[in-house]
Structure formats: C-alpha cells, structure tokens
Amino acid sequence: MQLDSFKRTLGENGIDFLLNEPMKNHTSFKIGGNADVFVSARDEEQLLTLFAAAKEYDVPVFILGKGSNLLVSDKGIEGAVVYLGNMDGITVKGEEIICESGASLCAVCVKAKENSLTGLEFAYGIPGTVGGGLYMNAGAYGSEMKNIVVKADYITPDGCKGSMELEDMKLGYRTSVFKLNEKIITRVYFKLKKGEDKEIQAKMNELISRRKEKQPLEYPSAGSTFKRPEGYFAGALIQQSGLMGKRIGGAMVSEKHAGFVINYENANCEDVTRLIDYIRQKVLSDSGVNLETEVIFVGRK
C-alpha cells in the first residue's frame, strides 16, 4: 500500500481528504477508530479518479454513506474510506425521482411529499442514504426499497460504468446483488404514484411518531442489531431471555426496544461485539434460534 502516492494523486486532482479521521464522527453508533484516509468525493469523475489511484497504489477502499448500519473496529479502517454524502442530488421527473446515492432517505421522502408523490413514506425516519438503502434493501412498516426502485446506475473499481434494472438486483430481506459484487451504486431511480399532500404528510408523521415511541432514538445505535429470524421477532426473543438493560462496558440492550444494542455510555466496538455475542448465545440457549446480525462489521481485526 503506497498511501503517500495515493494522497498525492488526490491532492493533484482537487479531491478533498482528511488523514487519520475518527470514524466515530461518521457513524450513527458513534464508535470506531481512525480511517487512514477519509475521502469526500463530489461526483462520479472523482470516484473514477480515486479508484484508479487506489488500484495503482494498492490502497483498499471502503464506501461510506451515512454510516447508519455499521460497527467500525476500534483499530480503525485500513486504506481509504470514501464518503458519498456530498453526492446528494435529487431530481423529480413526473412520477419518477432520480437520486444520487449519497442523498439521505429522509430528504428524498420530503422531496416526494413536496411533489405529491406517494410510496416512499415507509422510509421516512430511516437514517441512511439512498445507496445504502438499496444495498440493504431497507424496509419498514410493510414496504421496502424493491417496491419502488426501477433502476440503479453504478461504477466498478476498475472504472466501468453501467446500469442495472430491478429484476437483476436480487433484492431480498436486507440483501441485494450489490452485497455480492464490487459495483458501487451512484444513482437510484424510484417510480412513485401521485397522491394527496395531506395524506402523505399524515402518513410520514404517523410513522416518525411510531419510531420515536418504540425505538431508542435518543441513544447512538446502528438501528436494528439483528435480522428478523423466520417465524420470530429478534426483539421479542431477546426480551424473553431477560436481556433488556443488559450491559457490557458502555454497550447496552435498550430498555425501550430489545432489538437495539445502544451506545449507552462511551461504548467501543469491543463492548458492542461482546454484548452481541452474549445475546446470540443466550437466545440460542433459551429459544434454539440463531440470531444473525443486521449490523455490518468493518475495519481492522
């Protein structure tokens, strides 16, 4: 890994970057050691330039949106973290909304409401980006991304550009083809329907109220810690095992919703990892169900 040469190329091409940037400043968990290089890309051309440099100088790259579903190692992330949050353009064309991948889901929901478009209300309050939402096939309250997405543009680390139709995305429960390949989502196309402003706003208000009432939004977390096991609810299983309020270090099982591990008091990655392992072992012992994490672990081991 030739970091100095990589950084020099970034500078020569006007690409913004920071050195040894704490990842806890860029994740909803507020946890994580330093990224060697934290790069803020403004457009596809900058992405293509930095990917070419990363390939030439053997620098590993991790793509970051809002950091809302991540647990980053206390030892940080090797190489370059590429932040897409500045690629956040949103365009409305009739009943279609075209978004750059760094646009926040909440911002897109508001734009849809402003244009009397319905179908995205379920995503209001999901604290991620459009790209991250498609990557995970984010869903809530009976709907998910696959119900409204029609196409996505992408680039690859070797500089190729392309588009993918919905039927090729293999969207399933918290998964997509993008988790299995190296294609980086750059733009997402939504197909919505005309609706009534007041009804759309009322639905958004209802769902955000339900989130605030039932989820521990007052504490840093990565959202739901575990996937929903077939035939069960992870939160209910954890609650049945008597684990609400269980703490390891600064990490705690939320007393409001057992499906959330929260950063209760200056938790680090090790605290959260140990608590997750404890929960999985206890639920497996008590209920015979093997919980799978929804949170993505990244960084140095």
Query: Are 106 and 206 found together in one domain?
Result: yes
Query: Are 7 and 73 found together in one domain?
Result: yes
Of 174, 176, 241, 280, the active-site residue reads: 174
Structural domain containing residue 27: 3-83
Of 101, 224, 241, 254, the active-site residue reads: 224
Q: What is the pLDDT of residue 165?
A: 97
Q: Is 224 part of the annotated catalytic residue set?
A: yes
Write down which residue in 185, 214, 243 finishes a domain: 214
Sorting pLDDT into bands at 50, 70 and 90, what band is 159?
Answer: confident
Distances from the Cα of 268 to the Cαs of 76, 78, 258, 261, 265, in angstroms?
A: 11, 18, 19, 12, 9
pLDDT tens sequence across 72-119: 999 999 999 999 999 999 999 999 999 999 999 999 999 999 999 999
Query: Are 113 and 51 found together in one domain?
Result: no
User: Quick one: residue 58, left, alpha or beta (phi over 0 = left, psi -120 to 50 = alpha)?
Assistant: left
Write down which residue in 36, 54, 83 finishes a domain: 83
Of 21, 121, 144, 294, the active-site residue reads: 294
Q: Tell me if 263 is assigned to some domain.
A: yes
Query: Are 116 and 181 found together in one domain?
Result: yes
CATH no. for residue 73?
3.30.43.10
Q: Is 73 part of the annotated catalytic residue set?
A: no
CATH no. for residue 164?
3.30.465.10
Query: Are 135 and 192 found together in one domain?
Result: yes
Q: Tell me if 220 is assigned to some domain.
A: no
User: CB-based contacts of 207: which residues, under 8 Å, 6+ apart?
Assistant: 121, 122, 124, 125, 140, 141
Query: Are 208 and 100 found together in one domain?
Result: yes
Query: Are 161 and 184 found together in one domain?
Result: yes
Q: Tell me if 43 is assigned to some domain.
A: yes
Query: Are 60 and 152 found together in one domain?
Result: no
pLDDT tens sequence across 5-58: 999 999 999 999 999 999 999 999 999 999 999 999 999 999 999 999 999 999
* SS3 annotation, 85-142: CCCCCEEEECCEEEEECCCEHHHHHHHHHHCCEECCHHHCCCCCEHHHHHHHCCEECC
Q: Tell me if 187 is assigned to some domain.
A: yes
Query: Are 66 and 20 found together in one domain?
Result: yes
Nearest to 80, CA basis, from 52, 109, 112, 108: 52
Q: Is 294 part of the annotated catalytic residue set?
A: yes
Contact between 294 and 227 (Cβ < 8 Å): yes
Sorting pLDDT into bands at 50, 70 and 90, what band is 4?
Answer: very high
Query: Are 187 and 240 found together in one domain?
Result: no
In the chain, % of residues over pLDDT 70: 100
Q: Tell me if 78 is assigned to some domain.
A: yes
Q: Tell me if 225 is assigned to some domain.
A: no
- pTM of the full predicted structure? 0.92
Q: Tell me if 207 is assigned to some domain.
A: yes
Tell me how many domains the chain contains. 3
Query: Are 175 and 280 found together in one domain?
Result: no
pLDDT tens sequence across 218-234: 999 999 999 999 999 99
Instruction: Please list the residues that pair with 286 across neighbouring strands.
Output: none
Query: Are 147 and 171 found together in one domain?
Result: yes
d(CA 151, CA 149): 6
Q: What is the mean pLDDT of the chain?
A: 96
Q: Tell me if 280 is assigned to some domain.
A: yes
Write down which residue in 18, 49, 83 finishes a domain: 83
pLDDT tens sequence across 234-278: 999 999 999 999 999 999 999 999 999 999 999 999 999 999 999
User: Which two structure tokens, joined as six digits, stand for 92?
Assistant: 């409305």
CATH no. for residue 240?
3.90.78.10
